[in-house]
Amino acid sequence: MNKEQKQIIKTINQAYSKLDVLNNIRWTAFRDDLFNMNKQDEIRHRKSFGERDYSSVASISDCAKLFVVHNIAESLLSKSKYTIKDLLIIRKSCIYSQSLVENYREIIEKAWESENIKNLASLDYISLIDWDLYQETLNNRKVA
């Protein structure tokens, strides 16, 4: 894992930690539930690729935290991005994130008042899994 990837993980962990406020609203630990959904999705995703060496990439937990942070940030920026129809074609955690934002926007915004929401929404899974592919993708975007 390179220096840039370690910085991305640091950013993710900082934002994720601040979402602890979602665990103290009601009897449901919303942040932890969302993390567990994303963790299970990442486990299934990695299993679908068979025997691949993941020793040099971000952990399952780091990737799950990325999706928690990314999806909540994206929902803050794009109200009503998903509909009930989308439930069959996207990860359920995306809908859950949007619901958290719709119900607890003020709490999340206060917790993240010092965070760059656009930066969190632009976090890319590939940056944690394959840095070279991520750089290639960024370069292709610049050319297009």
Is the Cβ–Cβ distance between 67 and 10 less than 8 Å? no
The residue ranking higher by pLDDT, 39 or 142, is: 39
Position 7 scores a pLDDT of 97
| Mean of all residue pLDDT scores within the chain | 92
- pLDDT greater than 90 at residue 39: yes
Q: Is the pLDDT of residue 144 over 70?
A: no
Q: What is the DSSP letter of 26?
A: S
The number of beta carbons lying within 10 Å of the beta carbon of residue 32 is: 14
Residue 80 has pLDDT above 90, yes or no: no
Q: Are 71 and 19 in contact (CB under 8 A)?
A: no
Instruction: Report whether pLDDT(51) > 80.
Output: no
pLDDT beyond 80 at 69: yes
Mean pLDDT of 88-106: 95
Cα Rg of the chain, angstroms:
15
Tell me the whole-structure pTM to 2 decimals. Answer: 0.91
- The pLDDT, as a whole number, for residue 68 is 98
Where does residue 129 rank: exposed (0-12), middle (13-18), buried (19+ CB within 10 A)?
A: middle
Number of alpha carbons in the 13 Å side-chain half-sphere of residue 68: 30
Q: Under DSSP, is residue 136 helix (H, G, I), strand (E, B) or coil?
A: helix
Cβ atoms 131, 5 nearer than 8 A: yes
Mean pLDDT of all residues in 25-36: 95
